[in-house]
Chains A and B, each alone.
Chain A
Amino acid sequence: NFMLTQPHSVSESPGKTVTISCTGSSGSIASNFVQWYLQRPGSAPTTIIYHDDQRPSGVPDRFSGSVDRSSNSASLTISGLKTEDEADYYCQSYDSNNVIFGGGTKLTVL
Chain B
Amino acid sequence: QVHLQESGPGLVKPLETLSLTCGVSGFSISTGYCWDWVRQSPGKGLEWIGSIHYSGTTYANPSLKSRLTISLDTSRNQFSLKLSSVMAADTAMYYCARRTNFYYDSSSYLTGGYFDLWGRGTLVTVSS
Task: Give the B-binding residues of A (Cβ under 8 A).
Answer: 32-33, 35, 37, 39, 43-47, 50-51, 56, 90, 92, 94, 96-104
Supposing A94-B111, A97-B109 touch, asked if A45 and B46 sit within 8 A by C-beta, the answer is yes
Minimal Cβ-Cβ distance residue in B for A49 = B114
Supposing A90-B45, A97-B59 touch, asked if A51 and B101 sit within 8 A by C-beta, the answer is yes
A56 touches B116 (CB 8 A): yes
CB of A52, distance to nearest CB on chain B (Å)? 11
Supposing A32-B111, A94-B111, A99-B51 touch, asked if A50 and B101 sit within 8 A by C-beta, the answer is yes
- Taking a contact as CB atoms closer than 8 A, the residue among B59, B101, B107, B120 that contacts A44 in the complex is B120
With a 10 A CB-CB cut-off, give which of B101, B109, B110, B115 has the most chain A CB atoms: B115
A44 touches B45 (CB 8 A): no
Task: Give the A-binding residues of B (Cβ under 8 A).
Answer: 36, 38, 45-48, 51, 59, 61-62, 95, 101, 107, 109-116, 118-121
A102 touches B114 (CB 8 A): no
CB of B72, distance to nearest CB on chain A (Å)? 17
Contacts A56-B114, A94-B111 known; list 8 others, CB within 8 Å.
A45-B38, A45-B118, A46-B118, A50-B114, A96-B109, A97-B111, A98-B62, A104-B45
- Which 6 pairs show the lowest CB-CB distances between chains A and B? A50-B114, A99-B48, A44-B118, A104-B45, A94-B111, A101-B46
CB of A72, distance to nearest CB on chain B (Å)? 18
In the complex, which residues of chain B have a beta carbon less than 8 angstroms from the beta carbon of A32?
111-112
In the complex, which residues of chain A have a beta carbon less than 8 angstroms from the beta carbon of B95?
44-45
Minimal Cβ-Cβ distance residue in B for A101 = B46
CB of B99, distance to nearest CB on chain A (Å)? 8
In the complex, which residues of chain A have a beta carbon less than 8 angstroms from the beta carbon of B107?
96
B112 touches A37 (CB 8 A): no
Supply 11 A–B pairs (Cβ within 8 Å), ascending by A: A37-B115, A39-B46, A50-B113, A50-B114, A51-B101, A56-B116, A96-B109, A97-B110, A100-B48, A104-B45, A104-B46
Q: How far is the CA of A90 from the CA of B46 in the complex (A)?
A: 8
Minimal Cβ-Cβ distance residue in A for B51 = A99
Supposing A37-B115, A94-B112 touch, asked if A103 and B121 sit within 8 A by C-beta, the answer is no
Q: How far is the CA of A11 from the CA of B51 in the complex (A)?
A: 34
